[in-house]
Amino acid sequence: MLALLGRLKGEGGRLAAYGASAKGSTLMNAFGIDGQLLEFVVDRSPLKQGRFTPGNHLPILPPEALLERRPDYVLLLTWNFAAEILVQQSECRRNGGKFIVPVPEVAVV
């Protein structure tokens, strides 16, 4: 996963993440994923928006930021809801955004 993220960033890709979950924060901190790779995190919860992720201090924005800022790739930190989120983010995907599902195996969709 780190090799993929590093390659995409090295090729000029803009990366963000979806889901300010505890497991997502654990994954980011365990792998050292921070502002060097990701620009921001989005989450549907208004309670999390306007705050920062623990450890790496990435800003948490509403999901609409994906349409406004148009990252090339979005690391899906709530992989257990992948099917639902991919449907919700169909406009982002139609605009060329790709999602990286890290678990159980890294996949770009």
Q: How many domains does the chain have?
A: 1
Q: For residue 51, what are the domain limits?
A: 2-108
Backbone angles phi, psi at 54, to 5 degrees: -70, 140
Q: How many whole angstroms separate alpha carbon 55 and alpha carbon 22?
A: 11
Q: What is the CATH number of the domain that holds 65?
A: 3.40.50.720
From first to last of its 109 residues, the chain has per-residue pLDDT tens of: 999 999 999 999 999 999 999 999 999 999 999 999 999 999 999 999 999 999 999 999 999 999 999 999 999 999 999 999 999 999 999 999 999 999 999 999 9
Separation of alpha carbons 50 and 61, rounded Å: 6
Q: What is the pTM of this model?
A: 0.95
